[in-house]
Amino acid sequence: MAPRGGPVSLEPAQLDPADYFAALQGGSQAERVFHGARVALLKAALPSPSGRVLEIGAGSGGIAVPLAEAGHNVTAVEVGFEHLARLRDYAMDRGLAIPVVQADGRRLPFAEGTFDVVILASVVHLAAQPGPLLREAERVCADGGTLLVAGPWRHHPKTNRLIKTILRGGRAPETKTQPFSKDLVRRYLGASELVRRDRDYAMGYDVTVWRRLARS
Ligand SMILES: C[S@@+](CC[C@H](N)C(=O)[O-])C[C@H]1O[C@@H](n2cnc3c(N)ncnc32)[C@H](O)[C@@H]1O
């Protein structure tokens, strides 16, 4: 599907070449454990039934693929061509047909209220301006739908160490990040209320669960 509003471009710093793909493809034990914790938290946070699920900034499919494997009806949006190609290959290897859309999460080619669940995992804290991403996530989320916004809990010493290890391994250039927090998310989700927050204390990953309020 063609992106709305013409070609998509992002500043290179916003494209994270690591996107945890290494965690799935022969990464270190630490990376696999960290990734497993993220997937488990997000799976547990999904409503049942989950309905139509959108992941924005799906990278190479580290979250979208396991969710589709678990039976969720996931559509993946990603702006990076290389990530998309890896996501397609990864899904195909698993025999999964995941609709994959190349688009900028700040201008999505979907009508208002299209999805029952919208996921932003490890994206918001990397964005120079999280506002447009979060507001667009809210726009495409149905009334009463769920927004899952997740990120590494940067103040957690273990997370900091793990991220430094991954960075030292040369797979990810240092990206400018801001600490992920529910307050960061709350600042921009004007039409949603916080339902709960799930954290993996051992691994330092944070999932915030929001309910999209009804449009008046
Ligand atoms: C750290 S990766 C996370 C990938 C996946 N969500 C996960 O948790 O494994 C961040 C991804 O967000 C993508 N991204 C960043 N800004 C975006 C935007 N405005 N629209 C779509 N994708 C974006 C990047 O290209 C990258 O693949």
Q: What is the share, in percent, of the chain residues with pLDDT greater than 70?
A: 73
- Among 123, 149, 174, 207, which residue has the most ligand 1 atoms within 8 Å of its CB, making it the best to mutate? 123
pLDDT at 127: 83
C-beta 27 within 6 A of ligand 1: no
Query: Where does 12-212 sit in CATH, by number?
Result: 3.40.50.150
Q: Rounded CA gap, 160 and 153, in Å?
A: 8
The predicted pLDDT at position 68 comes to 96
Task: Return the pLDDT at 158.
Answer: 59
Q: Enter the tokens of residue 45.
A: 């946070």
Q: For the chain, what is the mean pLDDT?
A: 82
Predicted confidence (pLDDT) per residue in 80-111, tens digit: 988 899 899 989 989 999 999 999 999 999 99
Q: Where are the domains of the chain?
A: 12-212
Q: What is the CA radius of gyration of the chain?
A: 16
User: If we measure between CA atoms, which residue out of 202, 207, 211, 175 comes closest to residue 39?
Assistant: 207
In the reported structure, the alpha carbon of residue 137 is separated from the centroid of ligand 1 by a whole-number distance in angstroms of: 13
- What pLDDT, in 10s, does the model give residues 128-187? 789 999 999 999 999 999 999 998 876 555 566 666 665 555 444 444 566 788 999 999
Higher pLDDT, 167 or 126: 126
For residue 46, pLDDT over 80 is answered with: yes
Cα(216) to centroid(ligand 1), Å? 31
Q: For the residues of 40-96, what is the DSSP string, one character each?
A: HHHHHHS-SS--EEEEES-TTSTTHHHHHHTT-EEEEEES-HHHHHHHHHHHHHTT-
Q: How far, in Å, from the CA of 16 to the mean position of ligand 1?
A: 7
